[in-house]
C-alpha cells in the first residue's frame, strides 16, 4: 500500500467516495468503477489500497466510527456530576451528527445492513466504553435508571439517528432550540 502523501490523499478520496455513493444510492449502487471515478483514480488502483470491496467497506465503517467516537468524547474528562458529563457527551454526539452529516448518515446505513461483518461491528462498539462507564456510575449513584445499557442507548442516543434521517428526507429540521428540546427528552427518558 502506498504510504506517500499523495497516496494518503487518494485513500481519503476513496473513503469519501464510498460515503457519498452509499449515502445517495445505497450499497447496491456503489460499484467499484464509480467509486474509482468519483475518487479520481483508475479502478485497479483501489486494490493497491484495499484488499477488495468488502475490506474497503469495512475500513470505511471503522474509520468513520472512530471519527464519531473521537468527537463524542472530545475534551471529555469525568467530573463529579453524572448529568453534566452526560450532557457534554450528548451534545458532542449531536454536534457530530449535524456537522458531519454525511458520516452520520453513513453510520446509520451500516447499523442495519449485513454488508458490514460482525467483527467490524464489535470493534466499532468498543469505542463507546466511556459512555457505558458513565451510565454505570450514574446507576450506582441512583441517578440513572437501573436498566440495560442498550435500553439507555435506545432512548437517549438512537433517536437522534431517526431525526437525522427525517432531516435527510426534508421532513424535519433540526434547529438549535429544538436540539435543547431533544436533549431534555433524552435525559428525561434515562434519568430516575
Partner DNA sequence: ACAAAATGAATGAACGTTCATTTACATAGT
Partner DNA sequence: ACTATGTAAATGAACGTTCATTCATTTTGT
Interface segment toward DNA; rule CB under 7 A; list 28-36, 68-76, 90-98, 133-141: 28-36
Report the C-alpha gap between 182 and 159 in whole angstroms: 9
Q: Is-contact 136 170, C-beta < 8 A? A: no
Q: Per CB under 8 A, which of residues 148..187 are in contact with a second copy?
A: 148, 150-151, 153-155, 158-160, 162-163, 165-166, 169, 171-172, 178, 181-182, 185-186
Q: Per CB under 8 A, which of residues 92..111 are in contact with a second copy?
A: 108-109, 111
Interface segment toward DNA; rule CB under 7 A; list 34-42, 87-95, 118-126, 160-168: 34-42
What's the full length of the chain, in residues? 192
Query: Which one of residues 12, 24, 26, 54 is an interface residue with DNA (CB under 7 A)?
Result: 54
Q: Which residues contact 103 (CB under 8 A, 6 or more apart)?
A: 19, 64, 67, 68, 96
HSE, side-chain direction, 13 A CA sphere, residue 190: 29
Shortest distance, position 33 Cβ to DNA, whole Å: 5
Report the C-alpha gap between 18 and 24 in whole angstroms: 10
8 or 24: CB nearest a second copy: 24
Does 145 help bind a second copy (rule: CB under 8 A)? Answer: yes
Beta bridge partners of 191: 144
Q: What is the DSSP letter of 41?
A: S
Q: Is-contact 82 88, C-beta < 8 A? A: no
Does 41 help bind DNA (rule: CB under 7 A)? Answer: yes
Among DNA, a second copy, none, partner that 158 touches (CB below 5 to 8 angstroms by kind): a second copy
Give the binding site for DNA (CB under 7 A).
1-4, 6-7, 10, 29-33, 40-48, 52-54
Amino acid at each position: 500500500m502506498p504510504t506517500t502523501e499523495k497516496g494518503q490523499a487518494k485513500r481519503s478520496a476513496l473513503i469519501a467516495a464510498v460515503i457519498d455513493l452509499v449515502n445517495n444510492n445505497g450499497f447496491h449502487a456503489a460499484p467499484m468503477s464509480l467509486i474509482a471515478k468519483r475518487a479520481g483514480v483508475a479502478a485497479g488502483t483501489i486494490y493497491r489500497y484495499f484488499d477488495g470491496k468488502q475490506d474497503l467497506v469495512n475500513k470505511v465503517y471503522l474509520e468513520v466510527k472512530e471519527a464519531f467516537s473521537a468527537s463524542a468524547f472530545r475534551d471529555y474528562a469525568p467530573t463529579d456530576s453524572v448529568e453534566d458529563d452526560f450532557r457534554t457527551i450528548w451534545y458532542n454526539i449531536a454536534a457530530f451528527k449535524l456537522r458531519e452529516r454525511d458520516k452520520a448518515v453513513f453510520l446509520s446505513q451500516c447499523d442495519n445492513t449485513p454488508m458490514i461483518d460482525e467483527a467490524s461491528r464489535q470493534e466499532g462498539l468498543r469505542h463507546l466504553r466511556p459512555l457505558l462507564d458513565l451510565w454505570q456510575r450514574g446507576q450506582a449513584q441512583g441517578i440513572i435508571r437501573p436498566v440495560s445499557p442498550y435500553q439507555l442507548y435506545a432512548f437517549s442516543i438512537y433517536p437522534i439517528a431517526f431525526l437525522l434521517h427525517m432531516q435527510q428526507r426534508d421532513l424535519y429540521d433540526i434547529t438549535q432550540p429544538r436540539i435543547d428540546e431533544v436533549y431534555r427528552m433524552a435525559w428525561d427518558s434515562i434519568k430516575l
